[in-house]
A and B are shown apart, each in its own frame.
Chain A
Amino acid sequence: MDFTYDEEQQALREAVRGLVGKTYADFENRRRTVAEDPGFDESLWRRLAEMGILGLPFREEYGGSGAGPVEVGIVAHEMGRVLAPEPYLTSVVLAGGIVAAAGTDEQRSEVLGALSEGTSVPAFAHAEPGTRWTSTASAVTASSSGDAWTLTGVKEPVPHGVRADLLVVSAALPDGGTGLFLVDPSDSGVAREGYRTHDGGRAARVALTDAPAVPLGPAGADQSGAIAAVLDIARVMACNEAAGAMEVALDTTTSYLTSRKQFGVTLNTFQALNFRAADMYVSLELAQSVTLWATMVIAAGRPEEMSEAASRAALQVSRAGRHIGQEAIQLHGGIGMTAEYSIGSYTSRLTALDHLLGDGDHHVRLLAAAVGDHDEVDPLP
């Protein structure tokens, strides 16, 4: 039982902080970056590739560096601290993770190699309007004629769906189950409409009309199990990112309380405000503890434990993210409402992360359904 990073992991954290943290140290730089398409810094993305950060989770034979969830979590945490808009979570962890989990060796080499090099930005087109964080698809359906497959239906919102040069799409299979497919978005059967999201990100409506598709992994196989497993890993990484964001949101708030003056004194003169900041710290520490634990559970790799751990982390982080995000704005007062000042964007990003892969109530529902299966929760294996 050890909650500390080893020297290599600390070096990784310093390296990512040195690059990403430095790039967005000035919040104005992030504002400029998210104002222009594609909504992130392409040159920073290339530098992340050169540093080996994009290939971190993938095995060396596929062009990655074969690091584990702890390392990926460190990167996510650092991205979260500065609200880095680069699609690390959605393209590397999620889209890349799906290909790593379900693809053939050839597909893994091709897709993950290009992703690791920074030459390709894939997107996982999975969410469908009306569904809530399932591991299956229904609105997009797959048809086959001989060896040829086509997809029809709408995926939305697809993170960075317009910038993506490769779509990894989930679709209902003709004989039941959910399959996975690679789709070239430049095909005429693919119509994409992109837009900005509230947190400065990008998403798209992706309409598929008999779009040619290549099965990811064995044709016709139900991949919902693989999807569920990757979603769980991504949930824990989203928690790591949120933990970084919450950490800075609290720091920013306490700095504000010690510098902003009203009634002739700094705000930290008022106990009502300090106590609320203290409660934010409690929320942060508890969420950070469960996040680190869940990251270690993922690293230990026992599938039967991963899903529950992901739900537990997601629940704790959802509650904490709302608490910290809401209080951070309130304790700032009017300035917290402005786009120019950073704090509101932290709340916006935490809200997006909360709803990307399943919010707190979603996970309570899952955990509550299983609450009678055990006497107590023992975090140690």
Chain B
Amino acid sequence: MQLELSPEDAAFRDEMRTFFTTEVPQEIRDAVAGRRELTKEQVVESMRVLNAHGLAVPHWPVEWGGQDWSPLRRHIWHEEMQRACVPTPLAFNASMVGPVIAAFGSQELKERFLAKTANLDIWWSQGFSEPDAGSDLASLRTSAVLDGDEFVVNGQKTWTTLGQHGDWIFCLVRTDPEAKKQRGISFLLIDMTSPGVTVRPIELIDGGHEVNEVWFEDVRVPAGNLVGELNAGWDYAKFLLGNERVGVAPVGATKRVLAEAKEWAGDQLADPLTAARFAELENELLALELTALRVVAHSADGKPHPASSVLKLKGSELQQAVSELVVDLAGPMSLASGAGDDSDVPAWARRATPAYLNLRKASIYGGSNEIQRQIIAKTILGL
């Protein structure tokens, strides 16, 4: 038992802190601090700055641009990045498809995609959910039928986040309709400029365009774009979702918003009830951060600790609770959500409700919180 970081890890933390606060353009960091939507160019620029310094994909194998860091250092990297308002590397590239290609892809796929994925030369989209396959992902129906040396893909994906920017999409497709549902799924990489691919926006309750439907009509995909084995895609998807859960509790970002909210609260912080809400949230965030550190320390052999479900569950709840507090701090000013920059209402108060509404997604994506409870009940508690 030891509280302090080792001198080496403390130096590492300082190094990260300095890098993130000096090398990433201030304008991008201000946009994150103001909880504004980033442009595609900002996301790309930020990730390229990180990648140029070997900091975009540290959890990948070293030969593909990763760093030989301890789990604790990865955690510090991730937290300091959020603390400095640096956009975290695009998850579809850095946390999802990259590690899957690196772990299961052919040498050819690795050489073709990994460097461009790390540098965001390719913007990846995720093609998992379907209208009838949400939490029950394995019931997906988008089909891929081999025809010569090409798959012919038909079907519909949905909730495709930022699909409007996507160059390529990694999809779970059904390649064996006869097999038990998990066993007939494959992991396929599809060029979104292929004929037959259509992306349609879905407007969300915050007024934004963040997610899309993606339609596939007789889309021809070279058989070489299959990742790993045919019909083994479900295993790769589980690997990917496990990775997603670990990074999905943005403790650092939530702490930062809560700290900002104290500024926004102004005189309201003197109100005992408001102060108590801050105190309770701060304590829960501390508990979550410490739990993340415990999980990090026990994540042996790269597999996510089962308690990572706790991080996803609690992390999303706290993210939502902090956004709710901000709306309450804004009070009647929160109604000015459509006002422009000439408004007398400060920007944070104008952003409060859209941010709150947008974050309702946090307990739904990445395996809904009910799925996380199911995982805890089954794999940890043996129920």
Contact = CB atoms under 8 A, between A and B. Distances in A.
Interface of A: 1-6, 9, 70, 250, 254, 257-258, 268, 271, 274-275, 277-279, 281-282, 285-287, 289-290, 292-293, 295-297, 299-300, 312, 315-316, 364-365, 367-369, 371-372, 375-377, 379-381
B283 interface: yes
A368 B5 CA distance: 28
A268 B383 contact: yes
B279 A278 contact: no
9 contacts: A275-B370, A278-B372, A278-B381, A279-B373, A286-B314, A293-B290, A296-B1, A316-B284, A371-B269
B301 interface: no
Contacts of A315: 279-280, 283
Contacts of A364: 276, 279-280
Contacts of A1: 2-6, 9, 72, 293, 297
A371 B262 contact: yes
A300 B3 contact: yes
A278 B309 CA distance: 10
A368 B269 CA distance: 9
A379 B377 contact: no
Contact of A278 (B278, B287, B373): B373
Contacts, number: 146
Interface string B366-383: 000010111011001111
A3 B1 contact: yes
B381 A377 contact: no
A274 B286 contact: no
Please name the 4 residue pairs, one residue from A and one from B, whose CB atoms are nearest each other, closest first: A289-B290, A368-B275, A286-B287, A274-B377
Given A282-B314, A379-B289, A380-B4, A367 B282 contact: yes
Contacts of A2: 1-2, 297
Given A3-B297, A379-B293, 10 more contacts: A1-B2, A258-B382, A274-B377, A286-B291, A289-B290, A289-B291, A290-B283, A293-B290, A300-B4, A365-B276
A31 to B, nearest CB: 27
A313 to B, nearest CB: 9
- Label chain B's interface by main secondary structure: helix
Contact of A282 (B272, B286, B297, B376): B376
Contacts of A371: 262, 269, 275, 278-279, 282
Interface residues of B, number: 47
B219 interface: no
A150 B1 CA distance: 45
Contact of B287 (A4, A250, A290, A369): A290
B310 A285 contact: yes
A9 B2 CA distance: 13
B282 A316 contact: no
Contact of A299 (B3, B5, B258, B307): B3
A375 B259 CA distance: 5
Nearest to A315: B283
B294 interface: yes
Interface string B296-334: 010000000001001001100000000000000000000
B285 interface: yes
B307 A285 contact: yes
A377 B282 contact: yes
A372 B283 contact: no
Nearest to A370: B279
A13 B78 CA distance: 34
A57 B380 CA distance: 35
